[in-house]
């Protein structure tokens, strides 16, 4: 049984919309994309899964960031455990790691093909919803081609009974999976950007804080801090948690603690120092909202900042490619560049302010 989280902000409307589109046949597979720590996993577990089960789906969750959990074996056991699916699978979630280098899944040469397991699931009366978290890790595993191909085959053959939500935080690897004409999942999934939370979320946390402590909190100030944290839900709720535990903390003090403990400081300074001057200026431009990196205007601005006569388009292309490969830069489904780590973006902007 899942314990209710009083600080969790439900996205029921979004979950209802996605499931309604599945049930109406508008799509059978979709990919939710957002940078790390934006709440994709919590949305799957706390909003989509319970609602889907209530609407008659059998629900299976798997995180490809968890290298200790074999996908094929987990799916096979799920297909054999029909009476306690959701409860059984939530109890086996061991935790989500924050970094991965590509899980290797093709370990059992005599294992039952994934397409066959999916066929067995499709024979059930209930439709099945697969929640496959951080799917780009599957693309990274060099020995996973058979797994990927078999998964695509099963999902293709039984799309009327088997629905799937993928999530991902690396556009490079997602493009390999879904936009490469030679890849098994080419154009298989409808891709959408996972919408960030807004002021309704920060107001919700402010109300919880005031209920628990009977102390007023400035909702406008809290929302501005949320924007400074790049609308990262985990960071804002950690601020509120600290203030509930220690009511003597002011909002400003709790925020400074959070900024210090969110991976800022020495780690980001080390990353920054390893970059070229052009790399840094491109990251700063993206962090400040620049969307036309290759425009003549931006190239003139970069040249001015770098103290050089000209910055060529080819130089920007090479730098962007390197930053994407290092997962410092990412892109949304509209091909817009963004910083892939929200705390790093905050650090970049703070450094820029302190140096001016």
Residue 313: strand, helix, or coil:
helix
C-alpha of 163 from chain center: 20
pLDDT in tens, 213-237: 999 999 999 999 999 998 999 999 9
| Measured distance CA(94)–CA(36) in Å, rounded | 19
Do the Cβ atoms of 18 and 165 come closer than 8 Å? yes
| Report field, pTM of the whole predicted structure over 0.85 | no
Strands (E), the chain: 29-33, 58-63, 128-133, 162-168, 190-193, 329-331, 337-339
Better pLDDT: 174 or 296: 296
140-145: Cβ within 8 A, 24+ apart? 140/100, 140/101, 140/102, 140/103, 140/173, 141/102, 141/103, 141/104, 141/105, 141/106, 142/102, 142/104, 143/104, 143/105, 143/106, 144/102, 144/103, 144/104, 144/105, 144/106, 145/106
Do the Cβ atoms of 71 and 109 come closer than 8 Å? no
Q: Which residues contact 73 (CB under 8 A, 6 or more apart)?
A: 108, 111
| Measured distance CA(130)–CA(166) in Å, rounded | 8
Q: Which residues of 82-98 are buried (b: 16+ CB within 10 A; e: fewer)?
A: eeebbeebeeeeeeeee
Which token pair is 332?
């949304």
pLDDT in tens, 105-117: 444 445 788 999 9
Q: Tell the residue number behind the tokens 């601020």, with chain if given.
A: 239
Q: How confident is the model at residue 152 (pLDDT cuts 50, 70, 90)?
A: confident
Do the Cβ atoms of 133 and 61 come closer than 8 Å? yes
- In this predicted structure, the answer to whether residue 281 has a pLDDT above a threshold of 50 is yes
The ranges assigned to domains in the chain are: 12-81+115-193, 199-262, 265-354
What local confidence, expressed as pLDDT, does residue 342 receive? 81
> Looking at residue 111, what DSSP letter applies?
P
CB hemisphere CA count around 133 (13 angstroms): 25
Q: Tell the residue number behind the tokens 């029921």, with chain if given.
A: 12
pLDDT in tens, 32-41: 988 878 899 9
Better pLDDT: 258 or 109: 258
- Nearest residue to 87 via CA among 58, 126, 48: 58
Residue 339: strand, helix, or coil:
strand
Domain 265-354 fold: Arc Repressor Mutant, subunit A (1.10.10)
> Looking at residue 225, what DSSP letter applies?
H
pLDDT in tens, 180-205: 655 556 557 788 889 999 999 999 99
Which token pair is 153?
């085959």
Strands (E), 120-272: 128-133, 162-168, 190-193
What local confidence, expressed as pLDDT, does residue 48 receive? 97
What local confidence, expressed as pLDDT, does residue 336 receive? 81
β 329-331/337-339 pair status: antiparallel
- In this predicted structure, the answer to whether residue 83 has a pLDDT above a threshold of 60 is no
Least confident of 58-72, 93-107, 144-158, 317-331: 93-107
CATH code for the domain defined by 12-81+115-193: 3.40.50.300
């Amino acid at each position: 049984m899942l314990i209710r989280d009083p600080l969790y902000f439900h996205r029921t409307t979004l979950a209802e919309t996605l499931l309604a589109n599945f049930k109406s046949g508008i799509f059978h597979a979709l990919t939710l994309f957002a940078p790390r720590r934006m709440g994709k996993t919590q949305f799957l577990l706390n909003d989509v899964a319970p609602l889907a089960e209530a609407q008659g789906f059998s629900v299976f969750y798997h995180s490809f960031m968890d290298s200790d959990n074999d996908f094929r074996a987990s799916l096979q056991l799920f297909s054999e455990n029909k009476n306690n699916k959701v409860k059984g699978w939530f109890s086996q979630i061991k935790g989500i790691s924050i970094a991965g280098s590509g899980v290797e899944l093709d370990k059992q040469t005599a294992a039952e093909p994934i397409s066959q397991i999916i066929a067995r699931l499709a024979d059930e009366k209930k439709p099945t919803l697969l929640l496959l978290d951080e799917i780009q890790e599957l693309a990274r595993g060099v020995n996973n081609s058979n797994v990927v191909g078999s998964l695509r085959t099963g999902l293709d053959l039984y799309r009327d009974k088997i629905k799937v939500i993928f999530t991902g935080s690396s556009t490079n690897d997602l493009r390999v999976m879904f936009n490469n004409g030679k890849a098994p999942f080419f154009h298989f999934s409808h891709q959408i950007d996972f919408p960030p939370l807004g002021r309704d979320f920060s107001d919700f946390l402010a109300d919880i804080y005031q209920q628990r402590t009977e102390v007023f909190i400035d909702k406008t100030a809290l929302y501005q801090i949320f924007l400074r944290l790049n609308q990262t839900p985990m960071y804002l709720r950690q601020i509120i948690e600290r203030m509930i535990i220690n009511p003597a903390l002011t909002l400003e003090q709790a925020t400074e603690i959070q900024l210090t403990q969110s991976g800022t400081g020495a780690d980001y300074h080390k990353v920054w120092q390893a970059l070229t001057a052009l790399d840094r200026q491109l990251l700063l431009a993206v962090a400040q909202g620049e969307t036309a990196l290759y425009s003549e205007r931006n190239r003139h601005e970069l040249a001015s900042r770098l103290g050089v006569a000209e910055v060529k388009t080819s130089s920007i292309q090479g730098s962007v490619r390197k930053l994407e490969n290092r997962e410092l830069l990412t892109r949304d489904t509209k091909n817009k560049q963004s910083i892939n780590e929200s705390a790093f973006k905050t650090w970049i902007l703070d450094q820029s302010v302190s140096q001016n």
